[in-house]
Chain A
Amino acid sequence: MTYRINKTEVEAAPFPGQCLRTFLREQGSLGVKKGCDAGDCGACTVHVDGKPVHSCLYPAVRAEGREITTIEGLANGEELHPMQQQFLDAQGFQCGFCTAGMVMTAAALDEEQKQDLPRNLKGNLCRCTGYRAVGDAVCGHRTVDVPAGTSPAARTVGACIPAPAGPDIVTGRARYTMDVPAAELPGLLHLKILRSPHAHARVVSIDAGAALAVPGVEAVLTHKDAPGQLFSTAQHELHTDDPDDTRILDDVVRFRGQRVAAVVAASVGAAEEGVRALKVDYELLPAVLDTASALADGAPEVHPGTAGNIVAELHSELGDTAAGLSAADVVHEKTYESQRLQHMALETHGSIASFDEAGRLVVRTSTQVPFLIRRALCRVFGLKPESVRVLTGRVGGGFGGKQEMLTEDLAALAALKLNRPVQLELTRREQFTAATVRHPFSVRVRAGATRDGTLTALELDVTTNTGAYGNHAPGVMFHGCGESVAVYRCDNKKVDARAVYTNTVPSGAFRGYGLSQMIFAVESAMDELARGIGMDPLEFRRRNVIARGDAMLSTSPVPAEDVHYGSYGLDQCVELVRAAMERGQLSAETSGDNLDDQWRIGTGTAVAMIDTVPPRGHMSHARIRLQEDGRYGLDVGTSEFGNGTTTVHTQLASTALHTTADRIVIRQSDTDLVDHDTGAYGSTGTVVAGKASLAAAEELAVLLKGFAASLFSNTSAQVTLLADAVECAGGRISLADVAVRAKDAGIDLSAQGRWGGTPRSVAFNVQGFRVGVHTGTGEIRILQSVHAADAGVVMNPLQCRGQIEGGIAQALGAALFEKVQVSSTGEVTTKILREYHVPAFADVPRTEVYFAQTNDSLGPMGAKSMSESPFNPVAPALANAVRDATGVRFSVLPLARDVVFLALREARA
């Protein structure tokens, strides 16, 4: 059969049930991505005979004889298609995994279709950007700065420098985890997993005979093949932060969807057939499917020896909350519930375990934490660090979901057993049913205030559901109860919290790391207290939040010794939001004055604080050197998954070296490059790893000037670094020449930088909404969205704005409709993207984004973290606006239309 792919004829025979997506990837078009594999996300969009189609839905055999164009064939040689250029000019991407499909779709739109992007981009999902940048790109608005010239004074920090990976992303050349050409992995095997149909069961026996008889099946792995070493899928600098309660394959399964066995075969199809042929005998065990039954007296233990199914708990009281409550004029008491969420990074989890020429195990994986994965693999398999290399390609989104070891262990086990390369790529369905979710929190709040506007007591009783395993259970619980409480000055604070095992899908790290759930409760309660005493809620917050210098206290009578006010911009954020909301009141477009009388209008706000770095150590190491081509090679450990840190590192280093950002060539997230990096989580890509890069670049600048001075004889004048040269007393030598002369002289022009993640600062976010709520349907319409962020000195305003917009969009999904549903038998029932709606273009309003003017004394060049935190105040601000509009307090997320409508109806009755 003859296929025409990107104007080239190919002889090939897809199998009868093959979709065009996998066929095109086999033919080398690795820019064609798998997001959902079900026609919902659009990441696989290609053109067939000029028409855009989702290639995951298109029978491959049907494309025979037709003209197929993929992202690789869109450009005219080296000349980009205008839409590719527009995505560069507006940086219409973050992780870039959706971009090829987005560009292919947008390139097919006519001018009329571009007038209605909510409709015409509904088949393309982006989880990172919040779509503002995508809309700018499709409409041809340029937002990136023209790359700075070669002015010696060029200070790239603070400029809207484009992401270095942009050209590769818009052309489909960027290589994500699974984008390894077949020729590079001869003999590659595929691994598929048999998953538990029971919430709690002992695996009595596994009959692999029929599976092993399937042609192409090479091995079946069961708990008998797995090391006995327990570990946690959660990854932290200290592995002791999480309970060791997990085996690669266990003889007890504790949730529906857990691994039971693995089949390794020459093809995905053979591995799947092998999985279907496995016969497993289970002994059913009693299961606890919610926290109430897990905490009940005599409840079955999910993990024997964990009394009461409590993984971690926390009990503290500062002052006397009983006295504080009795002194209050108004007391608010309510339970707030936050739901399970899926990260829905466009790239699913996946890894490829293989061996290099030296026989080292090499694991290429979609992770935020390559160095910690290496450490975990060494621990589980008893390997030495020098015998394992872990690296990433470009990572297609994370949001905390990739701060876990969910595929690497199994791929490595199979590779080590068979001594062959093995690939494990999760399907979107596995991602929904068997990866991790946000911890559901149930938070009982009791809080009191006096009529003068003083918060007199804050009591929180917190139960978190960690699911079947304790990955991140302690951390999420402790962190959640930290900044959410510390941001308020209050003499009387009490926290009782527990993280509880249940026989359900494991919870894990999720953007905000416990704070979003706690802030939903606390900020809703603050709103109620303000209403109770008749004070404007934002004014009530302004009076009670910490001011610079106040002790930041949550659950310990002494503040964390390494958290400081490196800067403080909360007051500015509050004022920025207040002023913007007041302006919005005056505009016909945002005031809601044009809506009919079925709409109720209201406003709401919420504040959020976050420590700029996680506690207990977060390390980074960077190396930089002058390359022989006169550019600088910077090696960093931290991962890039759309957070934009690569750009920021080029900005920091180029500023220190007085050059342009494009002269910094970055390599990253590979255990071979640097000594160690704790990883890209806890919003550390800029404030920890960036600090290491900056230190390395500053040291190299000193070394370089010193060596260069020796090249200018007969002068004592200072050497000046230029973008591509050094200058001294009117003389000039190119950096390439400097590199050659250093090499000739045996001088090593390289430097290293390290940062240990402490001391830490605090960052702030304030969100405001004006909403209309339709009493007849339950629709919540966002009339105005305002966000103020205290990010210190903003390294890259375009990128930082994108992070904020993306965080708000993701949080709006969580506030309005996203919910991972678990049935009464413990089964995740939201298994495909159509059942778990994530925000599409039509769902996300424009947000006015403002930055506080601060300069942090602890962060690199004054910067603070700003990646997780914009998510955190969104849900309570929205719920507070709905409360203002309707009089009804919604204490359970999400605020879906059906739930809102029925509650409003009940309130009227």
Chain B
Amino acid sequence: MDMPTVSDLVRTSNPGDWRPGDAWLAGGTVLFSYGSDSLQRLLDITGAGWEPLSVSDGGLEIAATCTIAELYAFPGTAPAGVRAEWRALDLVPLCCDSFVASFKVWNVSTVGGNICTGLPAGPMTALTAALDGIAVIHSPGGTSREIPVADLVIGDGRTALAPGELLRSVTLPAAALRARTAFRRQSLTNLGRSGALLIGRVDGDGTFVLTVTAATKRPVQLRFAALPTGVELRAQLSEQIDAELWHDDVHGLPEWRRYMTGRLAEEIRAELAASGSKEGSL
């Protein structure tokens, strides 16, 4: 929708240009969807020329301005060696398809925009948090800092970004990209907003990482040195997720989200246990 209070659109990615009343504009699909009656300027970062996706030995760097469509296409167009080695890329289409937004919106909306919106059900938050993504943040003082995505989203619509700070990129480390993964999601409607979105991962050293999103107000990660038993997993879930952390909005009652989290976590555990033993026998 229109935002008539906006008096200027500035093409910049320099946090030094930011002042109160400004908003960073990437795809714009969140800003223009909710509208605003107070914003004065939009700082358009899409002209910064950031490479959307950069592969290196260290992993995959995803620019904040990488569109969902570009990310979705990546597994299919990545070099064969990368595709074979980075098994966790299987999560990319699954997470993209967890958007309520249609593929048309993917043509415009960005990975960074989804993370910075801070929605509990943000599928890019889920994807990048689950793979231990590290966010690079540019600050107004000309400095930059790094923070795990899992710590960047801190509540419903809340992030650890200070005013004027700009998410530059998220890097997914190669070790996590090589992991075996499992994905589960529940929603109140067939292709609707996630009520619970869980991703499990087993790294090369056997470490098991379970990332809970959508069901909780912020991402919650559980780490185990090896695949836990169902009992151990349940115990950790109840220990690490306080009652008030279960998300409560029209997309699912907190109690339902809690049960779905337990159910999906166990499904993930079982799937990774089964695929692990199959792999071991090969």
Please list the residues of chain A having a beta carbon within 8 angstroms of any beta carbon in chain B. 15-19, 22, 37-40, 42, 45, 51-54, 56-59, 61-62, 105, 113, 118-124, 267-270, 272-273, 276, 427, 776-778, 816-817, 819, 821, 829-830, 832, 834-837, 840, 842-843, 896-899, 901-902, 905
B5 proximal to A (CB < 8 A): yes
In the complex with contacts A105-B104, A118-B190, A123-B102, A39-B2 CB distance below 8 A: no
Which residues does chain B contribute within 8 Å of A834, judged by CB atoms? 100, 193
B249 to chain A: closest residue by CB: A835
A49 to chain B: closest residue by CB: B107
A835 to B250, CA, bound (A): 6
19 contacts between A and B (CB under 8 A): A17-B9, A18-B2, A18-B4, A19-B32, A53-B108, A58-B28, A58-B108, A59-B42, A118-B191, A120-B102, A122-B191, A272-B37, A837-B188, A837-B192, A842-B190, A842-B191, A896-B188, A898-B188, A905-B259
In the complex with contacts A39-B29, A59-B32, A902-B256, A16-B105 CB distance below 8 A: no
Is B105 within 8 A of A777, CB to CB?
no
From A18, A843, A902, B253 is in contact (CB under 8 Å) with: A902
Which residues does chain B contribute within 8 Å of A819, judged by CB atoms? 250
From B9, B186, B250, B256, A59 is in contact (CB under 8 Å) with: B9
A105 to B189, CA, bound (A): 22
B252 proximal to A (CB < 8 A): yes
A829 to B251, CA, bound (A): 13
**Shortest beta-carbon distance from B91 to chain A in Å:** 17
From B29, B97, B192, B252, A119 is in contact (CB under 8 Å) with: B97
From B2, B102, B257, A122 is in contact (CB under 8 Å) with: B102
Which residues does chain A contribute within 8 Å of B260, judged by CB atoms? 777
Which residues does chain B contribute within 8 Å of A832, judged by CB atoms? 33-34
B25 to chain A: closest residue by CB: A59
Which residues does chain A contribute within 8 Å of B8, judged by CB atoms? 16
A60 to chain B: closest residue by CB: B2
B14 proximal to A (CB < 8 A): no
Which residues does chain B contribute within 8 Å of A16, judged by CB atoms? 6-9, 41-42
Is B4 within 8 A of A124, CB to CB?
no
Taking CB atoms and an 8 Å cut-off, the chain B residues in 29-45 that contact chain A are 29, 32-35, 37, 39, 41-42, 44
**Shortest beta-carbon distance from B47 to chain A in Å:** 10
Is B9 within 8 A of A54, CB to CB?
no
From A17, A45, A902, B39 is in contact (CB under 8 Å) with: A17
Is A902 within 8 A of B255, CB to CB?
yes
B274 proximal to A (CB < 8 A): no
Which residues does chain A contribute within 8 Å of B104, judged by CB atoms? 42, 45, 51-54, 105, 123
Is B42 within 8 A of A17, CB to CB?
yes
Is B252 within 8 A of A51, CB to CB?
no
A113 to B8, CA, bound (A): 39
Is A19 within 8 A of B1, CB to CB?
yes
Which residues does chain B contribute within 8 Å of A840, judged by CB atoms? 189-191
Which residues does chain A contribute within 8 Å of B7, judged by CB atoms? 16-17
Q: Would you list the 5 A-B pairs with minimal beta carbon distance, nearest first?
A: A123-B102, A269-B4, A17-B6, A17-B3, A898-B256
Which residues does chain A contribute within 8 Å of B1, judged by CB atoms? 19, 37-38, 56, 427
Is B195 within 8 A of A39, CB to CB?
no
From A57, A268, A896, A898, B32 is in contact (CB under 8 Å) with: A57
**Shortest beta-carbon distance from B255 to chain A in Å:** 6
Taken residue by residue from 35 to 69, chain B's Cβ proximity to chain A (1 for < 8 Å, 0 otherwise) reads as 10101011010100000000000000000000000
Which residues does chain B contribute within 8 Å of A123, judged by CB atoms? 101-105
Which residues does chain A contribute within 8 Å of B9, judged by CB atoms? 16-17, 59, 61
B263 proximal to A (CB < 8 A): yes
Which residues does chain A contribute within 8 Å of B39, judged by CB atoms? 17
Which residues does chain A contribute within 8 Å of B259, judged by CB atoms? 901-902, 905
B6 to chain A: closest residue by CB: A17
Known: A778-B256, A829-B250. 5 other contacts (CB 8 A): A59-B25, A113-B103, A123-B103, A123-B104, A834-B100
B256 to chain A: closest residue by CB: A898
Is A273 within 8 A of B101, CB to CB?
no
A271 to chain B: closest residue by CB: B4
From B37, B44, B108, B253, A57 is in contact (CB under 8 Å) with: B108
A113 to B103, CA, bound (A): 10
A119 to B105, CA, bound (A): 13
Please list the residues of chain B having a beta carbon within 8 angstroms of any beta carbon in chain A. 1-9, 25, 27-29, 32-35, 37, 39, 41-42, 44, 46, 97, 100-105, 107-109, 186, 188-193, 195, 249-250, 252-253, 255-257, 259-260, 263
A474 to B165, CA, bound (A): 57
A122 to B192, CA, bound (A): 9
Is B256 within 8 A of A901, CB to CB?
yes
Which residues does chain B contribute within 8 Å of A837, judged by CB atoms? 188-189, 192
A834 to B189, CA, bound (A): 12
**Of residues A38, A105, A118, which shows the largest number of chain B Cβ atoms within 10 Å of its Cβ?**
A38
From A18, A22, A273, A830, B250 is in contact (CB under 8 Å) with: A830
Is A897 within 8 A of B188, CB to CB?
yes
Is B102 within 8 A of A124, CB to CB?
yes
A777 to B195, CA, bound (A): 11
Which residues does chain A contribute within 8 Å of B101, judged by CB atoms? 39, 123
**Shortest beta-carbon distance from B266 to chain A in Å:** 10
A273 to B36, CA, bound (A): 12
**Shortest beta-carbon distance from A116 to chain B in Å:** 10
A836 to B33, CA, bound (A): 15
A34 to chain B: closest residue by CB: B1
Which residues does chain A contribute within 8 Å of B35, judged by CB atoms? 37-38
A51 to B27, CA, bound (A): 14
From B4, B6, B33, B186, A777 is in contact (CB under 8 Å) with: B186
**Shortest beta-carbon distance from A50 to chain B in Å:** 10
**Shortest beta-carbon distance from B198 to chain A in Å:** 13
B38 to chain A: closest residue by CB: A276
In the complex with contacts A39-B101, A902-B255, A902-B256, A62-B46 CB distance below 8 A: yes
A777 to B28, CA, bound (A): 35
Which residues does chain B contribute within 8 Å of A817, judged by CB atoms? 188-189
Which residues does chain B contribute within 8 Å of A901, judged by CB atoms? 256, 259
A475 to B203, CA, bound (A): 66
From B5, B29, B250, B256, A821 is in contact (CB under 8 Å) with: B250
**Shortest beta-carbon distance from A93 to chain B in Å:** 19
**Shortest beta-carbon distance from B154 to chain A in Å:** 22
A489 to B255, CA, bound (A): 44
A108 to chain B: closest residue by CB: B104
From A53, A122, A835, B107 is in contact (CB under 8 Å) with: A53
**Shortest beta-carbon distance from B26 to chain A in Å:** 10
A15 to B6, CA, bound (A): 8
A896 to B256, CA, bound (A): 11
A121 to B191, CA, bound (A): 11
Is A119 within 8 A of B33, CB to CB?
no
In the complex with contacts A17-B39, A830-B250, A834-B193, A897-B107 CB distance below 8 A: no
In the complex with contacts A61-B9, A834-B100, A17-B191 CB distance below 8 A: no
Which residues does chain A contribute within 8 Å of B195, judged by CB atoms? 897-898
Is B105 within 8 A of A54, CB to CB?
yes
A58 to B105, CA, bound (A): 9
A37 to B5, CA, bound (A): 17
From A118, A267, A776, B4 is in contact (CB under 8 Å) with: A267
A16 to chain B: closest residue by CB: B9
Is A898 within 8 A of B252, CB to CB?
yes
A834 to B187, CA, bound (A): 13
Which residues does chain B contribute within 8 Å of A121, judged by CB atoms? 102
Which residues does chain A contribute within 8 Å of B252, judged by CB atoms? 897-898
A703 to B259, CA, bound (A): 74
**Shortest beta-carbon distance from A500 to chain B in Å:** 26
Which residues does chain B contribute within 8 Å of A427, judged by CB atoms? 1
Which residues does chain B contribute within 8 Å of A56, judged by CB atoms? 1, 32-33
Is A276 within 8 A of B190, CB to CB?
no
A61 to B257, CA, bound (A): 41
A819 to chain B: closest residue by CB: B250
Is A15 within 8 A of B4, CB to CB?
yes
B41 to chain A: closest residue by CB: A16
A17 to B9, CA, bound (A): 7
